[in-house]
Structure formats: C-alpha cells, structure tokens
Amino acid sequence: MSNFARYNPLPALRHLAMAASLSLTLAASSVMALERIVVADGALTEILYALGEESRIQGVDTTSTYPESASALPNVGYLRQLSAEGILSLQPDLLLTTQDAGPPAVLQQLRDAGVRVEQLQVDYSLQGTLALVRQVGQLIDQSEASEQLAQQIEQQVQAVAGQLADLPMLFVLNAGNRGLLASGTDTRAHALMQLVGGRNVFADFSGYKPMTNEAVLLAAPQVVLVSHADGDLSLLAQHPALSLTPAAQQGRLYSADHRDWLVFGPRLADAVAELTALIQADL
C-alpha cells in the first residue's frame, strides 16, 4: 500500500486534462497554478465572481446559488457529502471550501490524488467575511484585487450597519410540527442581527434550540425573523407565543427565505441594508 499511498499523480492528471490540446506540454504545466477550481461554498463562489475569476471555476456545490450563472456549472452536490470521483472528473487543481466540507475520507482521497484542498476557516461576522475575501485572494494570486474588494465591502457595510439601535430581535427556524427553533449566539442569524444593530433576545445560549412559549413572551421581541416557513407567515402569526409579542402585534414578522441575508459574502452590505430598510419601514 504505502508505495502508492504517497505519490504525486499531478502530471498524470494534467495529462488527462490536456489530452485534447497537445500544444500545451511540459512547460505549460509547471506554470499553470490553480487554474481549475472546484468551489464548495456559496460565499466562496460569490467571492470568486466578485474578483472576476469565474472563468477558473469548473464546478460548484448546492449552496452556490448566486449569481445565477453559477448554477449552470457542474454541481458536485452538498459540501458535507462530496464525492472524490465526481470532483476528479472535473480535473481541478484546487478544491476551495470551508471547514464544513466532508466527509474527511473523501477530502483525503482528493489530496492523495494530487488535488490541493483548501478548507478556509469561516467566522460569521464582518471581520470574518473580510478575512475570507483576503484568504481567497492570496490563494489564487489576486491579493491586490481581493484587498480592494475587502475594503469596499468594509466601507459599504459600515455605511449601513448598526442603524437599529438595540432593537430586541428574535430569529426562528420553523421546524414544521415540531415547533420553532430560536437562534442563540454562534449562528449566522446572530451575526446578522448584530450587524443591523439589533439585540438578539436569546443571546444566553448558543446554536438553535427549541424555545418555550413563556420565554418568548418574556423576551418581548420587537422584530421576528423566520426561516424555513416558505414565505408564508400567516400561520406563524397565530402561534400561541409569537402572536402575543410586540413584533407580531405590530406586524414586524419577516420571512428570511429566498433572500441571501445569511451568505456573508461580497453582498453582505446589501443584506444589512435590505433588512434594515424593511424593518425601518414598519417602525
């Protein structure tokens, strides 16, 4: 086993890639660096597009839904359930993804086959998004462009952030007949609420947890954001706890579905501005 567990089949894979174009030979393969990228994360895909490097993308994952032209690319599936042969069939130099990608054994298979696998650490915040943009830029040798993009995102976000001074907000996932799951800290939803200047009413636990009706009443959120409700909030407005909150009584129940509020990519400022405007119109 060990004699072929560690080897470098890169030249061989390249050979396959270039079987059609014989003009590109040895000289080209030593220069060619990360020209073919499979990207498995929606925010990373958007960053590559924003840097104008979309021509390098050979495949995307199911979370890469923006821009629309990304969904025309070959889809390698869900980023936690990748397939080695499927990705190899796109002959990538680089698999660009986050710490969420898996299964670990498949990532190892890809490394063994000579594909560079980069799992970037994602921190859902403005600083985290900027760091992600810079990391991608360094990886694909576009540090200058990425620095510009990061500064642009930072300015845009800072211009619109923090306008809802300390407004008590609640973010819930609709879990069907199993009720509602409220967002605590360490979630994208929490980060978004902080960015618009709101105060997450359930900041005393982390992750998503089922909430008791009484705790919701006590928290008295002024704004409720709902995800996974398929846009239909009329049923939720009659929920025993939600219906009695200031948010429901003053009509500040918003659906977070079909919006890219939680992507934390180059369009972060748009998300913050859109949500802020929506809420301010009803205040």
Please, what is the minimum distance in Å from the beta carbon of residue 44 to another protein?
A: 17
Return the closest-CA partner of residue 224 out of 205, 202, 242, 206.
Answer: 242
DSSP single-letter state for residue 141: T
Under DSSP, is residue 248 helix (H, G, I), strand (E, B) or coil?
helix
Smallest gap from Cβ 216 to another protein, in A, equals 19
The dihedrals phi and psi of 124, each to the nearest 5 degrees, come to -80, 90
**Nearer to another protein among residue 51 and residue 87 (C-beta):** 87
Nearer Cβ to another protein (14/252): 14
Tell me which residues touch another protein (CB under 8 A): 1, 3-5, 7-9, 11-13, 15-16, 59, 62, 74-78, 80-90, 100, 102-109, 112-113, 186-187, 206-209
Instruction: Provide, rounded to whole angstroms, the least separation between the CB of residue 242 and another protein.
Output: 22
Q: Which residue number, 81 or 151, has a Cβ lying nearer to another protein?
A: 81
The candidate with the shortest Cα–Cα distance to 76, out of 63, 68, 127, is 63
Radius of gyration of the chain (CA): 22
Min separation Cβ 100 and another protein, Å: 6
Nearest to residue 156, comparing CAs of 195, 122, 191? Answer: 195
The residue (of 109 and 174) whose beta carbon lies closer to another protein is: 109
Tokens 């200058």, residue located: 144
168 phi and psi, to 5 degrees?
Answer: -70, 120
> Quick one: 80 or 166, whose CB is closer to another protein?
80
Least distance from C-beta 259 to another protein, angstroms? 19
How many CB atoms are located within 10 Å of the residue 117 CB?
20
